[in-house]
Structure 1
Amino acid sequence: MLALTGCSQSAPDDSATADAASGTADGAATVFAAADRVGAPEITGTDLDGEEISLTDYTGRVLVLNIWASWCGPCRAEQPVLDEVHAEYRGLGVDFLGVNTKDDETAARAYTKAQEVAYPSLYDQPGEITQAFRDTVPPRAIPSTLVIDPEGRIAARVIGATTYGQLTGLLDPIVVEYGLGDPAQRPRAADQEATPSPGPTAEASEAGGR
Structure 2
Amino acid sequence: MNSGRAPRRRSERRFRALPPVVVGVAALTLSACGGGGKSGGGGDTNFVTNTGGISSVAPADRKPANQLSGETLDGEQLDVADLKGKIVVMNVWGSWCPPCRAEAPHFAKVAKETESKGVAFVGINTRDPNKGPALAFEKDYGVPYPSLYDPAGKLIVNGFPKGSLNPQSIPSTIVLDQDGKIAARALLALDAEKLRKMIDPLIAEK
> What's the TM-score once normalised by structure 1's chain length?
0.74
Q: Counterparts in 2 of 1:99-178, with a 5 A limit?
A: 99-104=124-129, 105-132=131-158, 133=160, 135=162, 136-139=165-168, 141-178=169-206
Runs of at least 5 residues in structure 1 that lack an aligned partner in the other structure: 179-210
1:163 counterpart letter in structure 2? D
2:75 counterpart letter in structure 1? G
SS at match of 1:160: coil
1:118 counterpart letter in structure 2? P
Provide the residue aligned with 2:105 in structure 1.
Answer: 80
Provide the residue aligned with 2:70 in structure 1.
Answer: 45
Q: Does 1:33 align with 2:58?
A: yes
Distance 2:41 2:63 in 1: 37
Please list the CA deviations of residues 164-204 of structure 1 after superposition, one character each: whole Å capped at 9, or x if unmatched.
221111111110101xxxxxxxxxxxxxxxxxxxxxxxxxx
Instruction: Count how many residue pairs are aligned between Structure 1 and Structure 2.
Output: 172
Distance 2:175 2:194 in 1: 12
Contact in 2 for aligned 1:63/1:148 (Cα 8 Å): yes
Contact in 2 for aligned 1:6/1:161 (Cα 8 Å): no
2:123 counterpart letter in structure 1? G
1:53 counterpart letter in structure 2? L
2:195 counterpart letter in structure 1? L
SS at match of 2:75: coil
Provide the residue aligned with 1:187 in structure 2.
Answer: none
1:78 counterpart letter in structure 2? E
Give the CA deviation at 1:114.
2.1
Moved over 6 A (4+): 24-27
Q: Does 1:70 align with 2:95?
A: yes
CA change 1:89–1:168 in 2 (3 A) is same
CA change 1:89–1:27 in 2 (3 A) is farther
Contact in 1 for aligned 2:53/2:186 (Cα 8 Å): yes
Q: Which has the higher helix share?
A: 1
CA change 1:59–1:12 in 2 (3 A) is closer
Bigger Rg, structure 1 or 2: 2
Runs of at least 5 residues in structure 2 that lack an aligned partner in the other structure: 1-27
Contact in 2 for aligned 1:8/1:142 (Cα 8 Å): no
Structural RMSD (CA): 2.4
